[in-house]
Amino acid sequence: MRPLDRLSDYLGAVERRLRLMTVTRGLAATAGAALIFTLVAVLLANSFAFSRPSVTGARLLLFFGVAFAIGLALVQPLIRLNRRRAAREAETTYPQFEERLLTLSEKMEQNASDPFLNLLADDTLAVAEDAEPKRVAKTSWLFSFSSAAVVSTLVLLWLGLYGPGFLGYGTSLLWGGLPKGGAKPFYDIEVQPGDHTVKKRSSETITARLHGFTAPKVRLFGKYASSSQWEPVEMRTQAGGAAYEFVIPGLLESLDYYVDAGGVRSKTFKLTVMDLPSVKNMVTTYHYPAWTGLPDFVENPGGDLRAVEGTTADVEIKTDKPLVNGALLLDDGSKLQLRAGANGNLVARVPIQKDGQYHVAALENGEDVRLTEDYFIEAQKDHPPDIKITRPGRDFRAIPIEEVTITAEAKDDFGLKNVELHYSVNGGEEKTAQMLHDKNAKNSTASMTLALEDFKVQPGDIVSFYAEAKDARTTTRTDMYFIEAQPYERNYTQSQQGGGGGGGGGGQDDQNQISQRQKEIIAATWNQLKGTGAKGTDSENAAFLSQVQSKLRDQAKSLADRMKSRQLSEAGDSFKAFVNNMEQAVEAMGPASDKLKGANWKDALGPEEKALQYLERAEAVFRDIQVAFGNRGGGGGGMQGGARDL
């Protein structure tokens, strides 16, 4: 290959290298300019709340700026780049060419057949062999320009797709024409009700919410159909400051309107006024659920609906002129079509299942036009009956021949079906007595007298009792109470008159604690049976109560064993009776603990009450023992030793 051709190839390589660098540099400059002009344009448009004129002007600034950057940094340098410019750049990088390369490129353009060109080319080629084109357009420069272009482009894309605040919104709006993700305008006024049809002479409330900005003044502009001018009024802040509102009273003709605040203007909407029927009267017929046993009830005038859940209400509407197409609109979005009633009025059936609101509307051209204000729907809960024992209202102590009066008060919101007193002697078979005089009465107060003499109780026996009330669907029970048969008054008197002795109260205190704990176990079991027990699962509560009953059994057994270990001959048969009662109580506590462990609440009550019966009998016997010791007087050494044993 001739030296001239080889040198031409060398210049071509330099030119291509320079062209690549020019392109990357131009792209970097263009991307950087696009980013800068975008930020400037967004800031300008944001200062005018992204109004249409400001967005148009910002787009023009952005696009002209980018176009200028492309022309200046990319198009013009590429046009100017040629073989002679490539030679000049090579001469600048490698001064040892001593302008031979530039002279050769000029001669080749003027006269490629000049015989001196080969000689000059041969001389220049010797220098070109050590002058690499890569040094004329360094690879590091190409990488830097390319990186700058990529980074600027990525930042611009991030702003348009995920940018924060008004920067992201404005970038997406200027480049794409729409906000990112189809979002609402960054600065916007939400106006309600928008385009709407209203009844003639009705009032309409216009509300406006500012999104993305605040303004010291919010104004509503309106123009009636008969007017050619827009009339401004200032809107007032709603309670809580969340929105602004203005009430237009007694609309007589259609109205165009929009809201303006802080340089942001909403769309223009239209209120179309129509001459529609007016509601003159409403009559409500309630159909109560069958379980209530209540007859239908007519409310005239009607409006607000208040009834127990499950009731249906027939709402009959009378208008001053025919309503061709109407409905009841509920606040949950459902629509109940009005149909012709028997007397020519319009009727709709409303199911009362939950609290809400409704209003009467006319259906005109596919739009619901309000005819009335909102009416309330109140779905009343069916509460379980309430019952309590007011007399004696607590555990009661009585002598075996006493008569005990029990009074129960019950009430229910929709009528009582039954009120009963349940009682059981010493954990035996449960008996019931009716206490409701008037069925379906909402309130009931009744009393019943239990003659303990009829039950042949003896001191220490117990009568457990509770009251139960039923309505149509649920049952409520009171707590369980106890009537404890106590010794006659003389035992208390003698025991209190006994002198000296000291130390006799320890066993009595232990015994009282055990019987009291047994009552607490019965009460806890009864609460579990009623469904009002302690928090936790049935298995957890069962394990706990079973453990408590078992520990109480061990304590009672320990007390009985301690008393047996003392040979108190002075006590005689009473002492043996005490120990026997304690042992029978211990024997009853075993099955009670087992039943509790399996969460058999009802089955556990029998042995629990049986254990309490024997504990109470032991307590009564113990008082007799105290009386025996007390009658001996006090203070003697023998008496003091006996008291310590006791």
Higher per-residue confidence, 273 vs 344: 273
Residue 284 is part of a domain; what is its CATH number?
A: 2.60.40
Residue 447 is part of a domain; what is its CATH number?
A: 2.60.40.650
Residue 259 is part of a domain; what is its CATH number?
A: 2.60.40.10
Are residues 175 and 197 part of one domain?
Answer: no
449 in helix, strand or coil?
Answer: strand
- Our CA angle for 123, 128, 129, nearest 5°, is 105
Q: What is the pLDDT of residue 500?
A: 38
Average pLDDT, the chain: 83
Q: What is the pLDDT of residue 427?
A: 80
- Where does a domain end: 380, 409, 431? 380
Are residues 617 and 510 part of one domain?
Answer: yes
Are residues 629 and 519 part of one domain?
Answer: yes
pLDDT tens digits along 570-597: 556 777 888 888 888 899 899 989 988 8
Choose among 623, 545, 550: nearest CA to 581.
Answer: 623
Judged against a pLDDT cut of 70, whether residue 447 lies above it is answered with: yes
Are residues 288 and 267 part of one domain?
Answer: no
Q: What is the pLDDT of residue 502?
A: 39
Q: What is the pLDDT of residue 121?
A: 64
pLDDT tens digits along 513-533: 788 888 888 888 888 888 887
Pairing of strands 418-425, 462-470: antiparallel
pLDDT tens digits along 337-380: 999 887 778 999 999 999 999 999 998 888 888 899 999 999 98
Judged against a pLDDT cut of 70, whether residue 639 lies above it is answered with: no
393 pLDDT band (50/70/90 cuts)?
confident
300 in helix, strand or coil?
Answer: coil
Domain count, the chain: 5
Q: What is the pLDDT of residue 117?
A: 63
Confidence (pTM): 0.55
Are residues 473 and 341 part of one domain?
Answer: no
Judged against a pLDDT cut of 50, whether residue 151 lies above it is answered with: yes
Q: What is the pLDDT of residue 329?
A: 93
Token readout for 334 is 């459902």
Judged against a pLDDT cut of 70, whether residue 284 lies above it is answered with: yes
pLDDT mean over 145-172: 88
| String of DSSP letters for 553-611 | HHHHHHHHHHHHHS--TTTTHHHHHHHHHHHHHHHHHHHHHHHHHTT-HHHHHHHHHHH
Q: What is the pLDDT of residue 421?
A: 94
Q: What is the pLDDT of residue 569?
A: 44
pLDDT tens digits along 531-572: 887 787 888 888 898 898 899 888 888 888 887 776 554 556
Q: What is the pLDDT of residue 364?
A: 84
39 pLDDT band (50/70/90 cuts)?
very high
Residues in the chain: 646
Are residues 583 and 499 part of one domain?
Answer: yes
pLDDT mean over 225-237: 91
- Where does a domain end: 348, 380, 412? 380
Q: What is the pLDDT of residue 535?
A: 80
Token readout for 369 is 């036009």
pLDDT mean over 612-626: 79
Three-state SS annotation for 82-121: CHHHHHHHHHHHCHHHCCHHHHHHHHHHHCCCCCHHHHHH
Judged against a pLDDT cut of 50, whether residue 441 lies above it is answered with: yes
Q: What is the pLDDT of residue 394?
A: 87
Higher per-residue confidence, 409 vs 413: 409
Are residues 478 and 514 part of one domain?
Answer: no
Q: What is the pLDDT of residue 18?
A: 85
Are residues 56 and 158 part of one domain?
Answer: yes
115 pLDDT band (50/70/90 cuts)?
low
Can you give the residue range of the structural domain that contains 349?
A: 279-380
Q: What is the pLDDT of residue 149?
A: 92
Are residues 590 and 442 part of one domain?
Answer: no
pLDDT tens digits along 180-217: 555 567 788 899 999 999 988 888 999 999 888 888 89
Q: What is the pLDDT of residue 571?
A: 53
Are residues 242 and 95 part of one domain?
Answer: no
Q: What is the pLDDT of residue 511?
A: 58
Are residues 25 and 172 part of one domain?
Answer: yes
pLDDT mean over 446-467: 89
pLDDT mean over 403-429: 90
- Where does a domain end: 274, 307, 342? 274
Intra-chain end-to-end CA distance of the chain, in Å: 137
Are residues 291 and 270 part of one domain?
Answer: no
Q: What is the pLDDT of residue 180?
A: 53
